[in-house]
Structure 1
Amino acid sequence: MPTTSPDKILITVAPTGAETTKADCPQLPTTLEELVQAAQECEAAGAAMIHVHIRDADHQPTLDQTRLHDTVQALRESTDLVVQLSTGGSVHDPLEHRLKVLDAQPDSCSLTMGTTNFGDDVFSNPWPFVCELYQLSQERQVVPEFELFDLGQVHALRRLLDTYGLPYGGSVHCDFVMGVPGGMPGTAPALVAGVAMLPPEVTSWSATGIGRSTLPVMLAALSMGGHLRVGMEDVLTLAKGVPVERNAQLVERAVRAADVARRSPMTPAEAGGLLGLGLSRSEK
């Protein structure tokens, strides 16, 4: 596996997610206007890619096609961020609706490599669905980010690449999602094990820790030359009893931590190069 740039870091922000309710967290960006504002603030703070879940008029998770298209368009018009749409939606979304996410023509999409117990729910990603979504991303020229919730999913990535070849753009970027109840723990040993198992085709990887594992995973990833995903999808407090008021706070903290490791944030253009984005937005 090629080493990542020693002096640059890709910071992805995941501002909303599908689990937290607006009633429980009023500062969560759930409207398009709030999402655009959060994206602009996070780009200014050092983020280069945004991982997007959308909500409906009642602030509930949705995969409505019109809202997906409008969101991608608004983010492209208002920021230079690499726009990555979640194909996970919520744990309740039908697989056929999740496949249609690519119709919105994002730059990138998440592609989870297997089914995971997700708290009391099940995040379903059966193998035929994974294969169909991967082939669709190749056809639509959308760069996938392979989401890895456990070591079995790292092994599944090896199987997918052997069967269907490299993704569009030729780069293979993964994100370890750690600390989910039912997935791998958010610890340094777990991250070391996961990175050691990555196929040699992997060109870059990032990590995110859920909840209390946010800081341990961040520091472990930085020490290993990885990239970071942060945001209110993954954590809602800066410290015990200190709520996150805006996603940019989490980006700013990641930038400060990266600076200690002598690494500076990538620009969106640099992130596009890392991920193998071959088409300009005007061509997509």
Structure 2
Amino acid sequence: MSEPLLITVAPTGAETAKEDCPQLPTTPEEIAETARACQAAGAAMIHLHVRDGEHRPTLDLGLLREWVAAVRDASDLVVQLSTGGSVHDPLDQRLQVLDAEPDSCSLTMGTTNFGDDVFSNPWPFVCELYQLAQDRGVAPEFELFDLGQVHALTRLLDRYGLPAGGRVHVDLVMGVPGGMNGTTDALVAAVRDLPPQTTSWSATGIGRSTLAVMLASLSKGGHLRVGMEDVLTIARGVPVESNAQLVERAVAVGALAQRTPMTPQEARVLIGATG
């Protein structure tokens, strides 16, 4: 249980409107300050969804590059861009995310019912995105929303081999309406069935499942993703003040498990983003 703890912060997401949550970082300046504060609090990687000048989700390449540069100017965090965008973004635009030259990218292993919407990730798209990440030397983080996607990862790795960096890092996304439950039982089942090539894994608890998933992941030796993409309250009825506040809580809970926050450089080695 003494292994360093990777804490990834997902500060914005694509679902929450700025007008509903003014403290959500939705500009390059806000994301730069968020990156600086979250690294100081103990985060090593940042998972980015980009917003436009009207605070709406976008996959505009110029803005993607601007946000990546803003984070790199303000911090040493590993920059991971979401290739999911919003659930309404077309597949061809999602492939172009890698043109912004992130250190890492999310790679969701299948289509998921996402509340009332559908998060589309057909198998040919998954394969194309993975091969593009291999060619570009971008470290994928395989997002798994259910057990079917756990098994799909085995299929992908058996067909196309390891990522360019030789590491297989997974994030279990739990508690999404339509995906696997945010429970210890679900986490144990998913970890049990991860491919043997897996070198590290983290877990994300959405909404009310945040703490349950955090504690289950730590007890099983996993890493953590936290942030305002995933939860907007710090306690029942108490709004989150900042993403750094969520990182600080993860650090405190990790300390109880005798896990020290990983540095960004250690995170690069962990996920194979050292190119």
TM over 0.5: yes
Residue 48 (structure 2) pairs with residue 69 (structure 1): no
Give 2:263's aligned residue. 267
Work out the CA distance in 2 between the residues paired with 1:178 and 1:258.
19
Task: Give matches, 1:16-55, under 5 Å.
Answer: 16-55=12-51
Give 2:110's aligned residue. 114
Task: Give matches, 1:65-104, under 5 Å.
Answer: 65-104=61-100
CA-CA distance at 1:78 after TM superposition = 1.4
Is 1:112–1:130's contact at 8 Å kept on the other side of the alignment?
A: yes
Residue 128 (structure 2) pairs with residue 132 (structure 1): yes
Is 1:6–1:225's contact at 8 Å kept on the other side of the alignment?
A: no
The one-character-per-residue Cα deviations of 1:81-108 (angstroms, maximum 9, x if unpaired) are 0000000000000000000000000000
Counterpart among 217, 221, 224 of residue 225 in structure 1: 221
Identity of aligned pairs, percent? 73
CA-CA distance at 1:29 after TM superposition = 0.3
TM-score scaled by structure 1? 0.96
Counterpart among 224, 249, 254 of residue 258 in structure 1: 254
Letter of the 2:143 partner, please give it: E
Can you give the 5+ residue segments of structure 2 that lack an aligned partner in the other structure? none
The one-character-per-residue Cα deviations of 1:91-132 (angstroms, maximum 9, x if unpaired) are 000000000000000000000000000000000000000000
Work out the CA distance in 1 between the residues paired with 2:37 and 2:155.
39
Give 1:282's aligned residue. none
Work out the CA distance in 2 between the residues paired with 1:66 and 1:199.
36
CA-CA distance at 1:7 after TM superposition = 2.7
Work out the CA distance in 2 between the residues paired with 1:223 and 1:31.
36
Letter of the 1:101 partner, please give it: V
Task: Give matches, 1:90-239, under 5 Å.
Answer: 90-239=86-235
CA-CA distance at 1:261 after TM superposition = 0.3
CA-CA distance at 1:6 after TM superposition = 3.2
Q: Which runs of 4+ in 1 moved over 2 A?
A: none
Is 2:5–2:223's contact at 8 Å kept on the other side of the alignment?
A: yes
Number of residue equivalences: 275
Give 1:57's aligned residue. 53
TM-score scaled by structure 2? 0.99
Work out the CA distance in 1 between the residues paired with 2:88 and 2:273.
30
Work out the CA distance in 2 between the residues paired with 1:186 and 1:278.
32
